[in-house]
Chain A
């Protein structure tokens, strides 16, 4: 396959917050403007726009991709919206990557937006109809239910205790104290997590990321353009994505095989044979604290069932050997679904360029990985950046 080298050359994000006054398209504009300004580009320099945004029901607008298009800078440009549920944020960047890698465009603005506060009484309402309407919906399942089933399976298979998992929430919310855009940064303890309200055992309130409004944008460019724009391009070294069966009753749940397949695709492309040595900073998808652990294992960055130990020993701390979610993750920064995934790419971009400020991990990382997860809890999307 003859594919061109592609780099991320700019990034911008709005604050993540409970309820923004801005409309969704205004949020998209703010992130797009910041991303362009960050690399001193204008809209005229952009050849195509890739948009990611989750269900229309969140913003309460059907054809949400079209609604957001002008805020995302798509006027008179080739434009496409992608949507793979929670996986959208990283997938949108993959979409931007293949637009440029294919040779079709030299530059692509990738924009992800979510305004979940519009959805009343709670965005959960939109998720009630993702389940099979003939065999499952009569039981009134919701997302927290099925995460509880998955989390319990994960804990039981490996003999993991809740306090081991709670450390992830403690770490990420603390990391988020250094993020200027964070919604739920806090200094909490394991006890706080264990004493928080039980929503559906073993899921408790502080195990979960919030609903949020926000937008993130990045600029991607082909090699010859990237080198002109910046002396610090963050090259896309590998991408991968994979889908498991939509019948969650057919999956084991304790291990995300589809994340492993996505990761292997990305590692192969990047020529990475020893990911635990070669990946220096990681932003796995952490809408729930156990998901960070689950995903580290799926990404082959920890042995099965061993990610809690790495967390307890500080390996995944910001100053550990393999910093995980130095941004504060979705547990701390917030979770405007599609935007949260692209935030992870942005964080890797800033970390690799040494621009993460107080969040900067030590040791001048050369390679980082961002991952998102979603659809019907069975899609994994991975992007590896390197400098």
Chain B
């Protein structure tokens, strides 16, 4: 028997609102520190290399998840990649239609076995294709904060 079958006006039931009163303070970690500093200071994307597993991690990690070696070798993986898959977001989290639909893509970056999830820009949704070559567009250096949003979006090459 659901609430509405027992009580026809929900205000008749004893209910109240409350919350869990915490906020979170995150650190980017050892690998994250290098990754975001390279984006902020130099506008480059770095990956970390496991020579024994022959893998280049992007996002970079301080260890190889396959052999648990600590990764000491870092390389620039370039700023170009291809659209591995994408979606066009039509409504906001609140369920409101978006005036400007947002294109989100998984971008496989050349020279890495991983990739980045990011926005696509400077392209219409109907022109996006899986396999399309794209490149990162960085914010002007002055505005960068060491965040993944220092990359404004990826645009078609």
Contacts and interface: CB of A to CB of B under 8 A. Distances in A.
Contacts, number: 78
Interface string A33-44: 100100000111
B29 A26 contact: yes
Contact of B68 (A73, A76, A123): A73
Interface stretch (A17-25, A184-192, A201-209, A344-352): A17-25
Question: B28, B62, B65 — which one has the most chain A CB atoms within 10 A of its CB?
Answer: B65
Contacts of B24: 59-60, 118-120
A294 B106 CA distance: 54
A42 B29 contact: no
A19 B21 CA distance: 20
A255 B149 CA distance: 54
A26 B68 contact: no
B66 interface: yes
Question: B18, B21, B22, B63 — which one has the most chain A CB atoms within 10 A of its CB?
Answer: B22
A121 B30 contact: no
A164 B61 CA distance: 49
Prevailing SS type, chain B contact patch:
loop
B65 A23 contact: no
A199 interface: no
Interface in B28-43: 28-33
Nearest to B19: A129
Contact of B20 (A32, A59, A125): A125
Interface residues of A, number: 34
B70 interface: yes
B25 interface: yes
Interface string B1-29: 00000000000000000101111111111
A123 B21 CA distance: 10
Contacts of A29: 62-63, 68, 70
Given A26-B63, A125-B20, A125-B21, A32 B68 contact: yes
Question: A26, A59, A75, A133 — which one has the most chain B CB atoms within 10 A of its CB?
Answer: A26
A127 to B, nearest CB: 10
Contact of A43 (B21, B22, B33, B66): B66
A118 B29 CA distance: 12
Contacts of A19: 27
B67 interface: yes
Interface string B41-85: 000000000000000000001110111101000000000000000
Contacts of B25: 60, 117-118, 120
Contacts of B21: 125, 128
B63 A23 contact: no
Contact of A23 (B27, B66, B67, B70): B27
Contacts of B65: 70-71, 73, 75
Given A70-B65, A71-B63, A75-B66, A129 B20 contact: yes
17 contacts: A22-B29, A22-B30, A23-B27, A23-B28, A23-B30, A26-B29, A33-B70, A44-B67, A57-B20, A70-B61, A73-B65, A75-B65, A75-B66, A118-B27, A125-B21, A126-B22, A137-B18
Interface of A: 19-23, 25-26, 29, 32-33, 36, 42-44, 57, 59-60, 70-71, 73, 75-76, 117-121, 123, 125-126, 128-129, 133, 137
Given A19-B27, A23-B26, 7 more contacts: A23-B30, A23-B32, A26-B62, A29-B63, A42-B67, A120-B25, A137-B18
